[in-house]
Structure 1
Amino acid sequence: MAKLHIAMYPWYSFGHMIPYVHLANELAARGHRISIFVSKKAHSKLQSHNLHPHLITFITITIPKVDGLPEGTETGHDVPMELNHLLCDAMLLTRQQVEEILTADKPNFVFHDLAFWIPQVTKKLGIKSVCFLVISATCMASGIKPFREVTDDKPLTEEELTTPPPGYPSATVVLTLDEIMSLLGASDFSGMTKLHEGFTTSMSDCDVLAIRSCTELEGKFCDYIQAHYKKPLLLTGHVLPEESESKLEQRWADWLQGFEPGSVLYCAFGSQYVLEKDQFQELVLGFELTGLPFFIALKPPVGCTNIEEALPEGLEERVKGRGVVHGGWVQQTLFLSHPSVGCFVSHCGFGSMWESLVSDKQIVLVPHLGDQIINTRLLSTDLKVAVEVKREKNRWFSKESLNEAIKSVMDKDSEVAILLKKNHLELREKLIKPGFSSGYVDRFVQSLEELAN
């Protein structure tokens, strides 16, 4: 079978680009050639993830200026979520650059997600387009609804936004109006619909749908999407990198070693999210309230240059020896595999969601925005493998509600802890079974090879 050449143009968020590179590594490991369109700024940060530089090439794209975007904006990391729709406009303006490269290179496939215009280009060039989604199938399925045009005199109603679409396969994964606004990263309807339409147009116009998921986790949602779009839908599995050969940083290994197995709380909210200072302090005080040992890895909150200046007064002395609040990067997968860690408090981004599921730790979820909210409902209400922290009216939580959620899963004799652990371990057993992940990728590649002919 002749080897494939695949081009990729992921959305400008590292939460999208990194999974694309992970899939590229799996494809390259099987001998296929990959070209990935990225900005100059993203290129420098993604290089270390490229395990096959002889087969995976980054092609830098110049991101045009758009009114309203700060100077030098090239990734989602550079702007708040409410400006994402302007970044989407910038991506649209790269069409000519991308089309010229594709015309010259003529790959077999082009993978994309928010670049909704890719199928228009590929059809003209005789290339197949693959809408590869690194957002959960549950999230994408919830977005299948007839969004009508929004006008000043007829804005979208709350009922239109919050009513599940016909035939939606879950009665529990439902959102409030505020959560839907947050989900699409927009402060108004026009920005929200622009992002929604970007994804749905990509899915409607592409030749092939692909999702970073598996039937064991989201089978009914994948089936629902395929029934709606009536086109091939391929699943890649979780495509997590193989276990790192590196060891946990010695100071953290030594610290963890001082605690009983399963007693330490580990908390992280991904590489991009930055809390407001009052939210940060409430979170830290919630961990103190548990009385349990804890390790929190978060960026300094808004307006603070380091973690120390953001801590509540007197906290360091009060939790000395049992609590660490760290402002730098840590090896998350190694923390989650350490026997002293018993609970992962997460924002439920799709990457962290997968890492939590393949771990054997209890899961407490504090979603902030985007698909994190729907991922959380999938795990907490549909699969019943995690608990969600209760929210106040301001969409944040109190130290008491965080403490309550953590205690509910860390009390080994509680009904909640027993049920969640049982369900989680049953699902985990399937996800870590030898050959599970590689089998999904092998079937994915085989389907691509058949579609290329």
Structure 2
Amino acid sequence: MAPTKNTPIAGSTAKQAPPHFVLVPHAGHGHLIPMLDLAHLLALRGVRVSFVTTPLTADRLGGIADQAARAKLPLEIVALPFSAADAGLPPDCENTDKLTENEQFLPFVNAMRVLAAPFEAYLRALAPPRPSCIVSDGSNPWTVEVARRLGIPRLFFHGPSCFYSLCDLKALEHGLHEKVGAADDEEETHVIPGMPIRVEVTKGTCPGYLLEPGWLVLHDEAMEAMRTADGVVINTFMDLEGQFVAGYQKALGKPVWTLGPLFLHNRDDEALASCGSTTAAVRHDAIAAWLDGQTPGSVVYVNFGSLARKLPRQLFEVGHGLEDSGKPFLWVVKESEVATPEVQEWLSALEARTAGRGLVVRGWAPQLAILSHRAVGGFLTHCGWNSLLEAIANGVPVATWPHFCGQFLDEQLAVDVLGVGVSIGATKPVLILDDESEPVPRHDVARVVSALMDGGEEAEERRRKAKEYGEKARRAMEKGGSSYENMTRLIESFTRVEGTKTNKP
């Protein structure tokens, strides 16, 4: 579906004013990063960008703001008033990485609704004209009414893959959520109707959020925000998910802008370090020096994202599995996971036993720099879309260990559709704390790492396909590529000619 745009009459001297995009991410690391990448890309194209978030997150993004100011980019970070304590949360809970219990997650997401009033006040206080559009994360349905009241077009930014988004939409259309939610057998498989390929899910891996009342309400609101948006922005590219993008756009009946991989424009990992924990951040040069000493393609990189945190019993199984695999590994663990003396002592012993072959990074790590290093030949990942896309764009095959929500469907995309992954076999979702009574055992960790990193026809085919998609990803972001040109058309559709009104896409 082609968007409309304001075009000056031939021969006229009408002046085009640069558009103003207001980006509203969810306050979680995995949500912030792709929208920061989008903000930077838009600003590089001359678009004025306001990036709206909570005060704590805004403070963390000081490096991004400073970098933009030095480069004279029209990008500003806007902090809206927010009190976590008013929602019954600890005072510093302004970002999901501050949550310590599974029970805090839903109250935190719901607490974000209080941002609606200061967000509207901020928009009303801006000098005319009003912003060209609002780009809002799917977890922020509270922006819908604000945009409607002010008459500002709104785009829906969906963080997962387009494959997941289409699965979720088809499941909703055919009442699959209700059917799965009423099922007694949690292992029973259900087929998602209307997909271009066969997709099976269980109660725990069904698209959407968790099948509990509070989460279902939030999911319904998010889906309505998607349906009523003026278009959808997704961090993917046509050569990766073309058939699913076509189906998604047809089902929605509105533009779907594929603009990714958004990070393929020289993202500065050092600046992004300010988004996460920096108390024990490991610098690029320390990790690069270790990787430089490893054989090309020999290292498996292990990182389970910014949210899920493993309890000691699961942490031990991961470590022993990596040790038993016999493969060189670079393992990122969260500072909160290794806070107790017991775990610290165990981890030190593991490091001593695997010295030279294994590197354990505590806290933040420069993931893009790691994945692009020639020594890295595989990635054991939780299948968050950011991580999966970063691996694919760097031509790195993956071992998949999904934890919750869309990650199970992203695993199916990587393993069954794209052919770049091998599964560890996880079937049950976990949220923040990995509280499974029976953790994934070390022999499964060792098995999947060996399958990923060894030779053999299947492993070589995964590597070949990953490299091929990586090349296509880079072409998509180059001038003339599908994502580059989509970005051009998106900006043009919101470019205001002075003296006229901006049309919705």
- Normalising by structure 2, what TM-score? 0.80
> Which residue identity is paired with 1:75?
N
What is the Cα deviation at residue 16 of structure 1?
1.1
| Mapped contact 1:358–1:431 kept (Cα < 8 A) | yes
* Structure 1 residues 110 and 252: CA distance shift in structure 2, 3 A: closer
1:168-187 aligned within 5 A: 168-172=195-199, 174-180=200-206, 184=209, 186=210
Please tell me the residue identity of whatever aligns with 1:122.
Answer: A
Query: Displacement of 1:159 after TM fit?
Result: 8.6
**Whole-Å separation in 2 of the counterparts to 1:171 and 1:310:** 47
Q: CA separation in 2, counterparts of 1:272 and 1:317?
A: 28
Work out whether 1:260 is the aligned partner of 2:300.
no
1:88 corresponds in structure 2 to 109
Whether 2:163 is the aligned partner of 1:138: answer yes
Report the alpha carbon displacement of residue 246 of structure 1 after superposing the two structures with TM: 8.5
Conservation of the 8 A alpha-carbon contact between 1:36 and 1:56: yes
One-letter code of the match for 2:194? G
5+ long unaligned stretches in structure 2: 1-15, 271-282, 429-435, 495-501
Aligned residues: 446
Q: What one-letter code is carried by the residue in structure 1 that aligns with 2:57?
A: A
* Gap regions ≥5 residues in structure 1: none
Identity over aligned pairs, percent: 26
Q: Distance in 1 between the 2:180 and 2:250 partners?
A: 29
Letter in 2 for 1:353: L
Which residue is 2:118 aligned to? 97
Q: Per the alignment, in what secondary structure is the counterpart of residue 156 of structure 2?
A: strand
Partner Cα separation in structure 1 for residue 268 and residue 144 of structure 2? 40
Query: For each residue in 1:99-149, what CA deviation from the matched residue of structure 2 results, as whole angstroms up to 9, or x when unmatched?
Result: 222223321101112222423322332211111112221222222233879
2:385 to 339, 350, 358: 350
CA–CA separation in structure 1 for the residues paired with 2:110 and 2:142: 12
Q: Contact between 1:35 and 1:58, CA under 8 Å: does it hold in 2?
A: yes
Stretch of structure 1 that moved more, 36-45 or 75-84: 75-84
Q: Alignment partner of 2:301: what SS?
A: strand
The question of 1:431 aligning with 2:454 is answered: no
**Residue 97 of structure 2 corresponds to residue 73 of structure 1:** no
Counterpart of 1:222, as a letter, is: V
CA distance in 2, matches of 1:110, 1:319: 50
The one-letter code matched in structure 2 to 1:294 is F
Deviation at 1:52, TM superposition (A): 2.5
Match of 1:36 among 41, 45, 51: 51
Find 1:218's aligned residue among 221, 237, 241.
Answer: 241
1:166 aligns with 193
Q: What's the offset of the Cα at 1:333?
A: 2.1
Secondary structure of 1:311 counterpart: helix
Pick the aligned partner of 1:61 from 73, 80, 93: 80
C-alpha separation in 2, matches of 1:61 and 1:6: 17
1:200 maps to what in 2? Answer: 223
Residues of 1 paired with 2:294 and 2:172: CA distance?
Answer: 53
Match for residue 416 of structure 1? 458
Instruction: Sort the Cα spacing of 1:26 and 1:249 in 2 relative to 1 into closer, same or farther, 3 A.
Output: closer
Alignment-derived partner of residue 375 in structure 1:
410
Contact 1:297–1:327 under 8 Å retained in 2: yes
Q: Does 1:320 align with 2:340?
A: no
Q: 2:425 pairs with 381, 390, 400, which one? A: 390
1:143/1:245 CA distance change after superposition, 3 Å: closer
Secondary structure, aligned partner of 1:34: strand
Tell me how far 1:202 sits from its aligned partner: 1.2
| 2:87–2:108 CA contact under 8 A, matched in 1 | no
Shift of 1:257: 3.3
Sort the Cα spacing of 1:14 and 1:249 in 2 relative to 1 into closer, same or farther, 3 A. Answer: closer
The reply to whether residue 189 of structure 1 matches residue 239 of structure 2 is no
CA distance, structure 2, for counterparts of residue 294 and residue 204 of structure 1: 44
Q: Deviation at 1:32? A: 1.1
Change (3 A) 1:220 1:365: same
Identify the residue that residue 136 of structure 2 maps to in structure 1: 112
Q: Report matched runs for 1:225-264 at 5 Å.
A: 225-243=248-266, 249-264=284-299
Shift of 1:73: 2.2
Alpha-carbon distance between aligned partners in 1 of 2:406 and 2:479, rounded to the nearest angstrom:
23
| TM-score, scaled to structure 1 | 0.88
Q: Deviations over 1:4-43 (max 9, x none)?
A: 0111211121211221121111111111111121110010
